Structure 1
Amino acid sequence: MNAEAVRPDGRGQRGFDLRPVLYIIGALVSVTAIAMLVPMIADVASRNPDWMVFAAASALTLFFGVLLMLTNRTPEMALNLRQAFLLTALSWLIIPAFASAPFMVSQIGLSPADAYFEAMSGLTTTGATVIVGLDSLPPGLLLWRSLLQWLGGIGIIAMGIAILPFLRVGGMQLFRSESSDRSDKVMPRAGDLAVAVAWVYLTLTLACLALLAVAGMSLFDALNHAMTAVATGGFSTRDASVGGWQNDWVEWILVVFMLLGGMPFVRFISVSRGDPAPLLRDTQVRWYVGFIAVVSMGLAMWLHGVGDIELHDAVRLATFNVVSVVTTTGYASADYSLWGPMPVMLFLILMTIGGCTGSTSGGLKIFRFEILFMVLRVQVLRLYSPHRIIPLRYNNKPVDADAMVSVMSFGFVYIALMFIVALILGALGLEFETAFSGAVSAVGNIGPALGPIIGPAGTFSPLPEAAKWVLSFTMLLGRLEFFTVLVLFSGAFWKQ
């Protein structure tokens, strides 16, 4: 589906036709089935018996995907607005169910709650895991985890570019101008734009793979980390995450590609054509890079002065972990929860920031902070100059009241959901640090949270199964930016 297939007025049909939605979900499920063949081949090559698990799961998934496509094919496949909302929510709810099958049937034998949590964490590029013993896991399962994040990352970019702006979610309507403003138009059609972004995504992945292999990683580990770095997902092949390699070059290479993964991918199309000006002019890119640089250097000075760490190590540790958290990747090169109260509080705040819109990262996103700062500035100016007219512009485009309300509503729901989820986790028996940081992590699609249980050195495995279901749904809400799902619970949405 692309932006041109969405009817923004929601009219044009009698009743509510579910068939186009189910047909597209069937196609996505079929793609998931084909993707399962990749880890199957990896297990066959390593002579691991789990290849039969992926073969059976692929066949079953393909059966249901093709069945949905055959039974719901219609001559008219254009979607109206209600169908687009439903498709976005259902596809991200159903695909993890099929993707979780290998985790349940394989030799690790995860429970349904654990398997769904792992699959949802992968596809939403959250990076939280319930699996202990990654170092001894079969290659097929390791590759499947990374592949889920890689596929989820490209799906997130497509959703952020083609779907959310037309659904007017969280101020994303600001980016509809990308397909209408001739002066800033990247590609003539949404379909061409999707193909170009996919090529950029693949190119960055291959470049990261090559550099990691040269830096000393095995080809298999380099492939897994290339996929999860560009997708800002954070799944690793070792329990100690990236810190398990103790390789400075590996960490700096991953810093670069995590940073790139948190930038708007449409800007890379212009760069690939020899025109870096749109990327350099983008205000959110400048704020994003500048913010990360200032915070990283500040934390490095703290680690050097208070933690008595060598300056070059302090810069590397601070930069890597700040970039990992801000881009919501979730890699860890060290257990930053042991650095003291100030760094822990800093990382808790950084969990809410996020990267740029049109990227694979989660969080509130830089552009929303820009809009909120502009609104705050206007309110302060109006205190002493009430009749002054102050136009608001974002990237040289006017910001209307509707976009500002959407951004503020998004911020309110983001904060409210963090507290609600933390309260639910507390009711399920989790102590404060685990409950609150777990809620922040799931809402922002971060991955590791804080504390000895779910911090950078732990996993989500010890949590009660009810908590894992709650966090799985929270990851979904955070990735779909709340309103895409919440609108489905409105009675007015379903009325004629």
Structure 2
Amino acid sequence: MIHQLRLILRPIVFINLILSCFMGFCGIYALIYSEHNEAVSFFQTMAVIIILSAVFAFFSKSREKKSITIRSGFVLVVFIWVFTCIVGALPYYVSGAMSNIYDAIFESASGFTTVGASILSDIEGLPKSILLWRAISHWMGGGGIIVLSVAILPLLGIGGTHLMHVETTGVTKEKLTPRITQTAKYIWILYLSLNIIGIVLLSYGGMNLLDAFTHASSAIATGGFSNKNNSVAYFSSAYIDWVLTVFMYIGSLNFLVLIKTVRGNFKSIINDSEIKFFTLIIVLISALVSIFLYIQPNGFTGMDGKTYTSLLDAVRFGTFQVVSVISTTGYATADYNLWHPAAQILIFVLFFIGGSSGSTSGGIKVIRHIIMIKQAVINIKSLIHPKGVFTMRLNGNPVSNKVVITVMGFIVVYMVTLFVGAFIVALSGVVTPTEALGAMLGCLGTVGPGFGALGPASNYGFLPDFVKLTLSISMIIGRLELFTVFILFSPWFWKK
């Protein structure tokens, strides 16, 4: 047990050093812009992290060469995410940018889990270095999530990628490389490349460097943080909207498939069932939402205050919002609370879907919906042909009953967690039942905004502290695919 604890501490030391480097960078950035108070807060936090790292490094010393167990792996993954969210909150709190520690934890958790929800009402009033730290939390979280979902969680038997990794010979079972470190390296190279391309394209559209980094990293990480009060609507640019739409879509695709495609295997993305179904959903719902926007009497109003009436504008705003929600980014250029009721229903449905497995997206994930739909079809066939034997296939390969049961279990636990969390939020008495459910959907599914008073034109700042803490925890639970966290509370987990 002691040896496993030492093994757990080693990667935590590594994560701490990365955090301290970025905090040091933000501290220097603060000095450049004469934000001395913020610079001190970053350097103080960095010092605390370095001291903790030294302590952890001392206790993690061991000459034994043993591998970390699966049980310790679960503890490590959860601890890293919780620890990072807490440490990441310190610059907000120490600098005074957020005087309430629950606000700081909420903002930090939202950043590192790429939820994108915020308690801030005046984002543009924050110091530039704090805005940079917010953006970096998204950037770090997005990259960490991809590595976690395609390289770590499958080893623990958790996550959407695991469904294909174990049971089929699809793209995720055909390992990119035999070593996790190599796979992680390829992922980070692609992730960095996409960020650089995004920054260049957004800069061409008129954004300054901080704006471009914030929005490019947020779109690719499917996060949703903006350094503008009106989010993307601040720029009121069709070019920027379409660039972000493309990068939100790319960020919500399986990164292993993307890497194979970049390396010349174009069939991997063309033949992938999950990506094809995901794209089909986007096309169909975008078309429907665009139609509903176009037929609205007197047009519709964007968050930039302008009224739009043309079909091209309807397609632009409709597609942007559909991709934003289904990718779990949460960006907004218009308040969907003001849209046609039918369009609102379609947006609401998207909250339950999510992106592809092995992506930066959260939510239930498309792969699970595909499996459940296929199982429903098999059930119908069995009613018609009771003696028939039907085999589910995914990408041409059989899917076992064990996988189907796992998916059903995940969805049941997801829904129970969703409604229990919504009940806790509703206990505050400051939101309606619909808003409470929307808040949990936004945080557990990592979308960000919800509905009503917690919609895209609002924020979570008015909620009581216990609700903010509940939602912060739900962000981590949703980000880690539920079972990774809940298994730690199982009595069987701790038995030898």
> Common fold, TM-score beyond 0.5?
yes
Alignment-derived partner of residue 184 in structure 1: 174
Which residue identity does 2:65 align to in structure 1?
A: E
In the superposition, relative to structure 1, how do residues 220 and 481 fare at CA in structure 2: closer, same or farther (>3 Å)?
same
Contact 1:230 1:258 in 2 (8 A): yes
Superposition map of 1:120-131 within 5 A: 120-131=109-120
SS in 1 for 2:4: coil
Q: Does 1:18 align with 2:5?
A: yes
Which residue identity does 2:281 align to in structure 1?
A: F
Which deviates further from its counterpart, 57-66 or 312-321? 57-66
Alignment-derived partner of residue 61 in structure 2: 73
User: Residues 252-291 of structure 1: CA distance to partner in whole angstroms, max 9, x if unpaired?
Assistant: 0000000000001111212222222111111111111111
4+ runs deviating over 4 angstroms: 177-183
Distance in 2, Cα, partners of 1:15 & 1:400:
38
Distance in 2, Cα, partners of 1:66 & 1:252:
46
In the superposition, relative to structure 1, how do residues 245 and 171 fare at CA in structure 2: closer, same or farther (>3 Å)?
closer
Alignment-derived partner of residue 222 in structure 1: 212
Distance in 1, Cα, partners of 2:344 & 2:289:
11
Alignment-derived partner of residue 3 in structure 1: none
Match of 1:274 among 260, 264, 278: 264
Distance in 2, Cα, partners of 1:442 & 1:491:
27
Contact 1:28 1:65 in 2 (8 A): no
Distance in 2, Cα, partners of 1:303 & 1:137:
34
Match of 1:193 among 183, 196, 212: 183
User: Residues 99-121 of structure 1: CA distance to partner in whole angstroms, max 9, x if unpaired?
Assistant: 10000011423311110111100
Which residue identity does 1:432 align to in structure 2?
A: P
Alignment-derived partner of residue 9 in structure 1: none
Distance in 2, Cα, partners of 1:171 & 1:460:
29
Alignment-derived partner of residue 393 in structure 1: 393
Alignment-derived partner of residue 438 in structure 2: 437
Q: Does 1:54 align with 2:42?
A: yes
Contact 1:354 1:363 in 2 (8 A): yes
Q: Does 1:98 align with 2:99?
A: no
Match of 2:101 among 102, 107, 112: 112
Distance in 2, Cα, partners of 1:48 & 1:146:
17
Alignment-derived partner of residue 349 in structure 1: 349
Flag structure 1 segments of 5+ consecutive residues without an equivalent.
1-13
In the superposition, relative to structure 1, how do residues 173 and 275 fare at CA in structure 2: closer, same or farther (>3 Å)?
closer
Q: Does 1:31 align with 2:18?
A: yes
Identity of aligned residues (%): 34
Contact 1:29 1:98 in 2 (8 A): no
Which residue identity does 2:110 align to in structure 1?
A: S
Which residue identity does 2:312 align to in structure 1?
A: H
Which deviates further from its counterpart, 277-286 or 66-75? 66-75
Distance in 1, Cα, partners of 2:16 & 2:348:
36
Match of 1:149 among 128, 138, 143: 138
Q: Does 1:85 align with 2:74?
A: yes
Distance in 1, Cα, partners of 2:403 & 2:147:
21
Superposition map of 1:178-327 within 5 A: 184-307=174-297, 308=299, 309-327=309-327
Shift of 1:16: 7.8
When normalised by structure 1's length, the TM-score is: 0.94
Distance in 2, Cα, partners of 1:211 & 1:97:
33
Flag structure 2 segments of 5+ consecutive residues without an equivalent.
300-308
In the superposition, relative to structure 1, how do residues 289 and 179 fare at CA in structure 2: closer, same or farther (>3 Å)?
closer
In the superposition, relative to structure 1, how do residues 468 and 224 fare at CA in structure 2: closer, same or farther (>3 Å)?
same
Shift of 1:124: 0.5
Distance in 2, Cα, partners of 1:428 & 1:332:
26
Shift of 1:178: 9.8
Alignment-derived partner of residue 451 in structure 2: 450
User: Residues 22-44 of structure 1: CA distance to partner in whole angstroms, max 9, x if unpaired?
Assistant: 22222212221112123223212
Q: Does 1:44 align with 2:31?
A: yes
Alignment-derived partner of residue 8 in structure 1: none
Shift of 1:188: 3.5
Distance in 2, Cα, partners of 1:486 & 1:51:
38
Which residue identity does 2:83 align to in structure 1?
A: I
Contact 2:170 2:397 in 1 (8 A): no
Which deviates further from its counterpart, 205-214 or 138-147? 138-147
Contact 1:34 1:62 in 2 (8 A): no
Contact 2:274 2:370 in 1 (8 A): yes
Superposition map of 1:461-472 within 5 A: 461-472=461-472
Alignment-derived partner of residue 303 in structure 2: none
Distance in 2, Cα, partners of 1:455 & 1:240:
12
Contact 2:287 2:315 in 1 (8 A): yes
Shift of 1:175: 3.3
Contact 1:124 1:153 in 2 (8 A): yes
SS in 2 for 1:76: coil
Contact 1:170 1:410 in 2 (8 A): no
Which residue identity does 1:138 align to in structure 2?
A: P
Distance in 1, Cα, partners of 2:449 & 2:170:
40
Distance in 2, Cα, partners of 1:263 & 1:150:
17
User: Residues 143-179 of structure 1: CA distance to partner in whole angstroms, max 9, x if unpaired?
Assistant: 1111101111111111111122122225543233599
Shift of 1:129: 0.5
Distance in 1, Cα, partners of 2:123 & 2:2:
49
Alignment-derived partner of residue 424 in structure 1: 424
Which deviates further from its counterpart, 175-184 or 313-322? 175-184
Contact 1:179 1:185 in 2 (8 A): no
Alignment-derived partner of residue 331 in structure 1: 331
Contact 1:418 1:439 in 2 (8 A): yes
Which residue identity does 1:29 align to in structure 2?
A: N
Distance in 2, Cα, partners of 1:486 & 1:135:
38
How many residue pairs align between the two structures? 482
Shift of 1:193: 1.1
Superposition map of 1:131-142 within 5 A: 131-142=120-131
Distance in 2, Cα, partners of 1:369 & 1:176:
17
SS in 2 for 1:17: helix
Contact 2:354 2:366 in 1 (8 A): yes
Aligned-residue CA RMSD in angstroms? 1.8
Distance in 2, Cα, partners of 1:171 & 1:122:
22
In the superposition, relative to structure 1, how do residues 169 and 184 fare at CA in structure 2: closer, same or farther (>3 Å)?
closer
Contact 1:378 1:390 in 2 (8 A): yes
Distance in 2, Cα, partners of 1:37 & 1:191:
26
Contact 2:4 2:69 in 1 (8 A): no
Which deviates further from its counterpart, 332-341 or 21-30? 21-30
